[in-house]
Amino acid sequence: MKAAASLSSRLTLLSAADAAHVRRLCDLLERYRPSARPVADELIHELAPLLDGEIAVAMRPVRGELGWTLDFIYGTRDVTGVRDFFKTAQDGWSPFFPVTPAPLRNRAVRTKVVHREYIDNPTPAYAETIELSEKYGAGMDKDDLGVAICDGEVVLAWFGLTRAQPFSAREIALLSALIPALRDRMLLEHQLGHARATLALLEAALEAIPTAAFVVAGPAIEHANATGHALLQRDRGRVVDALRESVRARDASGPYAITPVETPGVRPLALAVLRGSGATDVEQRHHTFATRHALTGRQREVLGLLARGYGNKTIAERIGVAEGTVEEHVTRVFRKVGVDSRAELVARFWSD
């Protein structure tokens, strides 16, 4: 209700036609479609004609220990030069970054007014920015209109336009009316970006575990590594029963080692890793499995290392052969066992 009231008050400053444009763009910002192209890219192509901009850009510069980079950048013209600039960018190229002054956060401004001191007395870094602007077609003879979309001191995105004629109060009011919806959407995408990165790290960590591993949330299996997926495909009921038994036991008696993961504000999670009874169990399983599938001595050796999660290069170093030779052994083991991947092979090894 508060957001709706805020939008209504902003729209009263606009003509009926402009208000209709703003409502349509706010609707675009409120609809999250994960498979669609990034909303920032879509929006700049809407803003350029609406605000009579010759060029429109959306980007998120980030300053880290190793220098500047871009989380993203979209433009109505080629932005390769801007990308290249950030590879060697020095501090002081803009008064908006890395921390935008509080009076300028979430506020549409004619940016050259803010830049005036920099323009009159350019630092070396800002001189490079001016040079880039000239090459890009947004030179010092042009006027700029932009907004730093912020969550506190964190800049979520920068939206900017340039043109030959000065931007008027109309264009500033139009961009200002979009700011609350822009902030909500960019904050959502920023948070989802962290979630996707966290998920990618989780998946990579699970794959580094040489046996079946699962992330269990309450009664559900949330994630599994490739070996875990292979086990589920072969005998889901058996895996679920074993996980249930292990979660209830929470000790060494279950088939899975359970590590609880507790984070404030997040439902209880647990990491479940399939385990043997010890070295003797693994050796016995290895002997039985290799005998059943009539593996040669070298193939048995390769199987033992595969089951422990080693890659071809490491296996080659361990047994003193070429990496190509290991690949041949692995292919023959796959054929004898009747599987198509390492994950299937390891799943068979631990479940047969």
| 214-258 per-position pLDDT tens digit | 888 877 888 888 878 878 887 788 888 888 888 887 666 788 888
Tally: H helices and E strands in the chain: 14, 8
State which of 37-46, 110-119, 195-204, 244-253 shows the largest mean pLDDT.
37-46
- Number of residues assigned to the chain: 352
CA-CA distance, 8 to 177, in Å (whole number)?
A: 9
The encoded tokens of residue 119 equal 């323009």
Residue type for 142, please?
Answer: K
Strands 143-151 and 154-163, by their bridges, are: antiparallel
Query: How many other CB atoms sit within 10 Å of the CB of residue 255?
Result: 19
| Alpha helices for 34-120 (secondary structure H) | 39-50, 80-87, 111-114, 116-120
What are the E-state strand segments in the chain?
55-64, 67-75, 143-151, 154-163, 213-217, 220-224, 256-261, 269-274
Q: In terms of pLDDT, which residue wins out, 12 or 266?
A: 12
* CB contact at 8 A, 126 and 114: no
What is the structure's pLDDT at 216? 85
Q: What is the CATH number of domain 279-351?
A: 1.10.10.10
One fold for both 2-200 and 279-351? Answer: no
Choices 3.30.70.270, 3.30.450.40, 2.40.37.10, 3.40.50.1980: CATH for 2-200: 3.30.450.40
Q: In terms of pLDDT, which residue wins out, 280 or 327?
A: 327
CA-CA distance, 155 to 41, in Å (whole number)?
A: 17
Q: What percentage of residues in the chain have a pLDDT greater than 90?
A: 27
Buried/exposed code over 312-338 (b: 16+ C-beta within 10 A; e: otherwise): beebbeeeebeeebbeebbeebeebbe
Instruction: Quickly state the pLDDT bin for 187 (edges 50, 70, 90).
Output: confident
Residue with tokens 């080659």: 316
- Record the pTM: 0.59
Domain boundaries, the chain: 2-200, 209-274, 279-351
Q: In terms of pLDDT, which residue wins out, 201 or 153?
A: 153
Q: Is the pLDDT of residue 1 over 60?
A: no
CA-CA distance, 240 to 252, in Å (whole number)?
A: 18
What is the structure's pLDDT at 36? 66
What digits encode the pLDDT tens for the residues 123-150?
888 888 888 888 888 888 899 999 999 9
Instruction: Quickly state the pLDDT bin for 307 (edges 50, 70, 90).
Output: confident
What is the structure's pLDDT at 154? 85
What digits encode the pLDDT tens for the residues 83-112?
999 888 888 888 888 788 888 899 999 998
